[in-house]
Structure 1
């Protein structure tokens, strides 16, 4: 008989706590909704921002950027005799994975490319003809495994040179646009 009474008490407690939770969440949603309305009203009364119809393209983004965040944005490094590409770990990259930084670079023919490891993880720097079907193409295939290790390659011919890390081929790759 004691078991039946404790089950009834448990059920009653759960039902009441569930009801209290629903009431609390509803009240909170009502408070948040009224704050949103007040914010929208203030925005509706504000004067519209003036637009600048001039032909100034200084704020426009271009296909070629000066970012080096490993985000597959083409970074223009033409005019440089030697460029450096870092092999970064997950803590240093935007998406938490190993990466080449920058990973998409435009350079002049004759530029020396230096890949530098920033950590003690084994990587390869392997040329490939395609990033979709990665396999060594023969232009270069080197390894780095400790912080400070580097590999240099001279970009003699204009064209496109893709590269990747064999152990991390699913997400660690890059492209050199040689002009």
Structure 2
């Protein structure tokens, strides 16, 4: 199930979460710094989404940091075209899930997908067949590890 999107308040994360590709690292993520605490928004605005339109397959990777939040999906908020395959890849070796939810504010499992990527190299693919927004989170790290795929 895709959740309809609306224009929500923009959130700046020291240039790390926006659609700019200037901070991208080799994994295609946003290049989060390992130090410094911050909190991801539960109501991401348009500027929070990394633009990955025009790609047939796009990857979201798990990362581990030294500061809070300790684990993140990178990029956490991504915009793709309908028909894109989104691939979540475990690159930090910690146990994670990729669990669909209807709300980032009240994260609980939805029917769209719920899978584990338990070890380094494990991956999960989801085809963005509809339009709208699909929110997701990691069950063991539900308080801080989450994201959204905005499908055009």
Same fold (TM over 0.5): yes
Q: Which has the higher contact order (CA 8 A, sep 6+)?
A: 2
Q: Which residue of 2 aligns with 1:144?
A: 117
**Residues in 2 aligned to 1:113 and 1:82: alpha-carbon distance in whole angstroms:** 6
Counterpart among 97, 112, 121 of residue 124 in structure 1: 97
1:48-92 CA deviation, whole Å, 9 max, x = no partner?
xxxxxxxxxxxxx9x63224136673100000000000011124x
Cα drift, residue 115 of structure 1: 0.4
Do structure 1's residue 83 and structure 2's residue 58 form an aligned pair? yes
Aligned partner of 2:31 in structure 1 is: 69
- Residues in 2 aligned to 1:106 and 1:65: alpha-carbon distance in whole angstroms: 12
Higher share of residues assigned helix:
1
Q: Distance in 1 between matches of 2:93 and 2:78?
A: 24
Larger radius of gyration: 1
Compute the TM-score of the two structures, normalised by the length of structure 1: 0.60
Q: 1:103 aligns with which of 63, 71, 76?
A: 76
2:134 to 161, 164, 171: 161
Which 5+ residue runs of structure 2 have no aligned equivalent? 1-14, 24-29, 33-39, 42-47
Determine the structure 2 residue equivalent to 1:171. Answer: 144
What are the ranges of 5 or more consecutive residues in structure 1 without an aligned counterpart?
1-60
**TM-score if structure 2 supplies the norm length?**
0.70
Q: Contact between 2:69 and 2:145, CA under 8 Å: does it hold in 1? A: no
- List 4+ stretches of structure 1 deviating above 3 A: 69-72
Tell me by how many angstroms 1:144 deviates.
1.1
Deviation at 1:96, TM superposition (A): 4.9
Tell me the distance in 2 between the aligned counterparts of 1:76 and 1:152: 19
Asked whether the 8 Å contact 1:65–1:74 carries over to 2, the reply is: no
Could you say what secondary structure the match of 2:127 adopts?
A: strand
